[in-house]
């Protein structure tokens, strides 16, 4: 990971929410929320909440007696999430997952959707999750499986990389799809003090509206945009068009099914 991989600014949060939440994130957000559906009271602490897709799923599913605290380090993403979510016992706090501003034993569940990959020090993030959990609490998060198991993102990665052969933008491969090794995940959680670690590979299917809209979301609604513009600020539209053409060549010009694979991790304190 490089520092720019965590920059979601400008128009990126809105494009992310519009195009990528339904394509990539909503199916797995519903899955995570269902895994804590039995909670009747207590505190759920969400880290790296982004634009709040899991936050909304949790608030819809859980009773008002469950307090939900959504955190993210990125102010723009957090504010967009706050604007789109409401409900009793729901709060938003800007926080670094490696140094959470909460007391020991403060939460019954710590939950994170596709955010652990962005932590420069993942062990520190796991240790903080362990610290703020009450004894017996659960740490629940998901991470993408390898890029080759997520064809749509891989096609876009290769199409954009081909435009810059001497210095290909590899944001997706490096960071979102870069923390897929289950042995590494299990070892780092064990080192952080977690027990009873379960890792399940979950397949989900979403419906892409069109190659063009998918290309806009992935090229312009993620830090891949910054990578493209850093190489040549005039070529963002070209890169988006190239990604759409590659998706069309594989799936056709209309809507298509997007098959995804991710690991869902549950660890206990």
Is 80 exceeded by the pLDDT of residue 5? no
pLDDT digits (tens, 9 = 90+) for 155-186: 999 999 999 999 999 999 999 999 999 999 99
Q: Which residue's entry shows tokens 């991470």? A: 143
User: What is the tens place of the pLDDT at every residue in 200-235?
Assistant: 999 999 999 999 999 999 999 999 999 999 999 999
Confidence check: pLDDT of 4 > 90: no
Across 256-260, average pLDDT: 98
- Given a cut of 80, is residue 1 above it in pLDDT? no
Could you tell me the pLDDT band of residue 69, with boundaries at 50, 70 and 90? Answer: very high
φ/ψ region of 88 (left if φ > 0, alpha if ψ in -120 to 50, else beta) reads beta
For residue 90, what is the enclosing H or E element? strand 90-94
For residue 35, what pLDDT band results from cuts at 50, 70 and 90?
very high
> And the tokens for 214?
């998918």
Q: Is the pLDDT of residue 2 over 90?
A: no
Structural domains in the chain, CATH included, are: 3-268 (3.40.50.150)
pLDDT at 6: 82
Q: Is the dihedral of CA 152, 158, 162, 166 positive or negative?
A: positive
Residue-level pLDDT at 8: 92
User: Per the confidence metrics, is the pTM higher than 0.85?
Assistant: yes
Quote the CA–CA distance of 20 and 13 in Å, as a whole number.
10
Give the list of residues 6+ apart from residue 181 with CB closer than 8 angstroms, or none: none
**pLDDT given for residue 7 in this prediction:** 83
From the list 3, 148, 258, 166, the residue with the least C-alpha distance to 157 is 148
The residues with which 67 forms a beta bridge, in sequence order, are 43
pLDDT(254) > 90: yes
Task: Write out pLDDT tens, residues 77-92.
Answer: 999 999 999 899 999 9
Q: Share the mean pLDDT of the chain.
A: 97
Q: What is the pLDDT of residue 205?
A: 98
- Side by side, which strands form the sheet with 90-94? 90-94, 66-72, 42-46, 107-113, 133-144, 256-268, 195-208
- Rounded (10°) angle between helices 182-191 and 122-132: 50
Q: How many angstroms separate the CA atoms of 105 and 134, rounded?
A: 4
pLDDT tier at 15, thresholds 50, 70, 90: very high
Helices (H), 85-196: 122-132, 151-161, 171-174, 182-191
**Taking 90 as the threshold, does the pLDDT of residue 196 lie above it?**
yes
Instruction: For 96-150, write each residue's pLDDT tens digit.
Output: 999 999 999 999 999 999 999 999 999 999 999 999 999 999 999 999 999 999 9
Cβ atoms 90, 68 nearer than 8 A: yes
């Amino acid at each position: 990971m490089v520092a720019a991989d965590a920059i979601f600014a400008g128009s990126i949060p809105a494009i992310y929410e519009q195009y990528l939440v339904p394509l990539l994130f909503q199916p797995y957000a519903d899955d995570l929320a269902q895994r804590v559906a039995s909670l009747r009271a207590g505190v759920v602490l969400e880290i790296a909440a982004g634009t709040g897709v899991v936050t909304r799923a949790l608030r819809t599913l859980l009773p008002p007696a469950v307090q939900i605290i959504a955190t993210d380090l990125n102010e723009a993403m957090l504010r967009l999430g706050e604007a789109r979510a409401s409900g009793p016992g729901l709060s938003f706090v800007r926080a670094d997952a490696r140094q959470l501003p909460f007391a020991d034993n403060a939460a019954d569940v710590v939950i994170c959707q596709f955010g652990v990959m962005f932590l420069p020090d993942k062990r520190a993030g796991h240790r903080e999750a362990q610290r703020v959990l009450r004894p017996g609490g659960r740490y629940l998060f998901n991470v993408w499986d390898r890029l080759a198991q997520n064809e749509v993102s891989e096609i876009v990665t290769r199409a954009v990389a081909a435009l810059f052969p001497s210095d290909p933008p590899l944001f997706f491969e490096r960071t979102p799809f870069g923390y897929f090794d289950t042995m590494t995940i299990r070892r780092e959680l064990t080192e952080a003090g977690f027990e009873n670690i379960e890792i399940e590979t979950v397949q989900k299917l979403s419906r892409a509206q069109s190659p063009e809209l998918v290309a806009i979301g992935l090229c312009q609604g993620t830090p891949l945009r910054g990578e493209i513009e850093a190489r040549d600020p005039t070529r963002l539209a070209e890169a988006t068009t190239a990604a759409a053409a590659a998706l069309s060549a594989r799936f056709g010009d209309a809507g298509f099914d997007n098959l995804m694979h991710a690991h869902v991790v549950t660890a206990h304190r």
